[in-house]
Amino acid sequence: MRLFKYLGRHKGAVLIVFVLLIGQAFCDLMLPNYTSQIVDVGIQQAGVEHAAAEELSQRTYGSVSGALPQQFDRQLFEDSYALDAATGTYKLTPYGEQHRDELDALMAAPLAQAHGLAQPGMSDDLLAQAGIAAACAEYASLGYDMNAKQMNYLLLTALKMMGFVALSALIATAVGFVASRTGASVGRELRGRLFAKVMSFSDAEVQRFSAASLITRGTNDVQQIQMMTIMLLRMVLYAPILAIGGIVMVARMDISMGWLIGVAIAALVAVVIALMAIAMPKFRIMQKLIDRVNLVSREMLTGVSVVRAFGQQAHEQARFDEASTKLMRTQLFTNRVMTFLMPTMMMIMNLVSVAIVWFGAGQIDAGTIQTGDLIAFITYSMVIIAGFLMLSMLAIIAPRADVSAKRIDEVLEAELSITDPVPGEAVDNAAPGAAVEFDHVSFRYDDDSECVLRDVTFTADAGKTCAIIGSTGSGKSTILKLVERFYDVSEGAVRVDGVDVRAWKLGDLRSQFGYVPQRAFLFTGTIASNVGYGEDEPDEARILEAIDIAQAADLVQAKEDGLDAEITQGGTNVSGGQRQRLASARALATDARAFLFDDSFSALDYKTDAALRRALAERLPGKTQVIVAQRIATVMQADKIVVLDEGCVVGVGTHDELLQSCDQYREIAYSQLSPEELGGKAGVSPNRQEGGERA
């Protein structure tokens, strides 16, 4: 079972729990024995445990001695008792205390005969009981207070039982503490390993598993493993210890009804196997349905504004109800199957109890066993069956935990498509800007899909601005992802400073770039924590400078808390343009040698767009800039413009060159700006505001 390997790092805790459980089982198994003694000795025998009484009258001593047939037996008897001159009676010597069990067997019949309690043809068991009764009569004849003797025995036995109960409770508490702590540690380690693994995933692995499924595996599946770990240490590990201990105690009692326990255990195993065979497939389906519920919930919450805008609340509610209902029906099926487990187990236990009483009554009548022994046997039988019942409880949670463990292992054992080279190539990064080269690059997201990029070749020169423009779906954003090595090329090579990106260590490669994604994402925290996210110890002066270059100074000044102003998850408490400016500032606050802007000015008005591009040119000398954009106004001042169409490069050059030589660029340009604006060297007028584009 996969779960056991998760406990490999906690062998010490498992050993401690195992030792504690042995102690707890010993305490629990002593209680039925004391119950038997209370019934047999404390009640039926008035607290007298031995036929070899502690004190004998001279008459009884002589009768017993004379009835012993062999010289060896008579010698043992005489050495075990000594005459007390003060009382005129014979009292048990230390030697007799040491050999009391032998004396019990030796004296039972002669003592019973001395008191007229023996009858011809009595079995050894009945003679032993008659000897105890004769010892009670002997004590009474000597003037002992039998009520006090009985009460003392009962109180002493009760105190012993209470001591074992208290010790068992303390041990159970310690086991619970260690088990819970170990389960929590296993959960923490699994979550940490899953998070670290997912952080090393490329976009391809994330899409293969899906974000909703990865969240489920890191939460619900880990919780199942954690619960199973606690159950394993507290119950499953205890069950065989308790069952084996019960079998040992039953074997010591020498009662010939052990076959009843074997029948009960066989019935338990058959029921558990049948239920597991029915429920196991449904547990696998259940985890996938949880993924589906998480997926629908995630989509609905993320796109709640779109849902409301199009009035699709009822449709989304129906989607969620469908996913939730399927999960509910599967859970109900598995729960209904498992509800048969407990009643069946209780029925088996009760039938075993009835059978033991039925067959045991005959043995009591024959004098083979005593009533207390039968009670103890019933108790030990229930303990043994309960041990297997605890193991059967494993059938309820183990299948689901095993499915969860398999799903977790799928993530932990997933092969990464993007890995560090071994060894990584040393690269000279002395130049302030990085050169990015695409050499006949083709790319497809998987082997069965069409190429997104085909034979793409261009170079973004170090310290220059290279813009990439094209129609929607032409592969512009994919180019930047290949530079960051979020994916690997299918054909050709992407080089940074002349070195293939696959030869760079991922950390070294990505530290060269300040990346602004197409969808500006902000983390929960403050403006300062978001802008300084790329540095371990961000400098406030650098943060302020980056904010100023990104044209976000007015945003900080408008906030009462300034840099400490709160940013909610995803940056939902700021506008789209403000998110883009803060995301740009985050990239600009790093020591990057090249900045990759993936259509990150689209939510800015023309004035802010122009001011930001001007600040980039003036205040980042020597830095390489690669700008993906839809607006002609954003790219027309670039040193080089790459035009993409359906994944192919259809033009490379300056704005003026492309207007003359590239039909696709010219078509995009004239659809947005007038001929006068396109011909102006200064680009778009600073006074032109957002909304000036033509359809």
- Is 80 a domain residue? no
CA separation for the pair 573, 567 (Å, rounded): 7
Structural domain includes residue 47: no
The dihedrals phi and psi of 282, each to the nearest 5 degrees, come to -70, -30
Q: Are residues 390 and 512 in the same domain?
A: no
Residue 193 or 686, more confident: 193
pLDDT in tens, 500-540: 999 888 888 888 999 998 888 888 899 999 899 888 788 88
Is the per-residue pLDDT at 182 higher than 90? yes
Report pLDDT digits (tens) over 335-355. Answer: 887 777 778 878 887 888 888
pLDDT tens for 439-481 read 999 999 887 778 899 999 999 999 999 999 988 888 899 999 9
Residue 232 within any structural domain of the chain: yes
φ, ψ dihedrals at 681, nearest 5°: -70, -25
User: The domain that contains 14 carries what CATH number?
Assistant: 1.20.1560.10
120 SS3 class? coil
Give the model's pLDDT for residue 247.
81
Instruction: Judge whether 64 lies within some domain.
Output: no
Q: What percent of the chain has pLDDT over 70?
A: 93
Q: For residue 341, count other CB atoms closer than 10 A to its CB.
A: 20
> What's the pLDDT tens digit per position in 41-71?
888 888 888 888 888 898 888 888 888 877 7
442 and 341 in a common domain: no
453: which 2 tokens? 């990029």
Which has more pLDDT, 558 or 288? Answer: 558
Residue at 427 is within a domain: no
| Same domain, residue pair 459 and 312 | no
Please tell me whether residues 617 and 675 are part of one structural domain. yes
Give the C-alpha distances (Å, rounded to integers) separating 400 from 42, 279, 286: 50, 9, 8
For residue 409, the SS3 value is helix
Residue 209, pLDDT score? 85
Residue 658's CATH number: 3.40.50.300
Contact between residue 155 and residue 147 where contact means Cβ atoms under 8 Å apart:
no
Indicate the range of 1-5, 394-398, 642-646, 688-692 predicted with least confidence: 688-692
User: Would 544 be classed as within a structural domain?
Assistant: yes
Do residues 304 and 406 share a domain? yes
Residue 190: pLDDT band with limits 50, 70, 90: very high
Is residue 180 one of the residues assigned to a domain?
A: yes
Domain extent at residue 203: 3-27+153-412
304-313 tens-digit pLDDT: 778 877 788 8
Residues 297 and 393 occupy one common structural domain: yes
Over residues 350-361, mean pLDDT: 82
**Residues 330 and 472 placed together within one structural domain of the fold:** no
- Are 665 and 605 within one domain? yes
Q: Which of 379, 412, 445 is the last residue of a domain?
A: 412
Same domain, yes or no, for 382 and 474? no
The predicted pLDDT at position 15 comes to 92
CA of residue 59 relative to chain centroid, distance: 76
To the nearest whole number, what is the mean pLDDT of the chain?
84
Asked whether residue 543 is assigned to any structural domain, the reply reads yes
CB crowding 183-208: b at 16 or more within 10 Å, else e: bebbbeebbebbeebbeebbeebeee
SS (H, E, C) 300-353: HHHCHHHHHHCCCHHHHHHHHHHHHHHHHHHHHHHHHHHHCHHHHHHHHHHHHH
234-278 pLDDT, tens digit each: 888 888 888 888 888 877 765 667 777 778 878 877 887 787 778
How many domains are there within the chain? Answer: 2
Co-location of 582 and 650 in the same domain: yes
pLDDT value of residue 220: 85
Mean pLDDT, residues 644-664: 91
Choose from 325-334, 636-645, 675-684 the range with maximum mean pLDDT. 636-645
How far apart CA 177 and CA 180 sit, in angstroms, is: 5
Decide if pLDDT at 427 tops 70. no
Pair of tokens at residue 468: 């990439």
Q: Check: pTM over 0.85? Answer yes or no.
A: no
Shared domain for 363 and 511, answered yes or no, is no
State the pLDDT at residue 173: 94
pLDDT score of 303 more than 60: yes
- Cβ neighbour number for residue 492 with a 10 Å cutoff: 18
- In this structure, the answer to whether residues 457 and 311 fall within a common structural domain is no
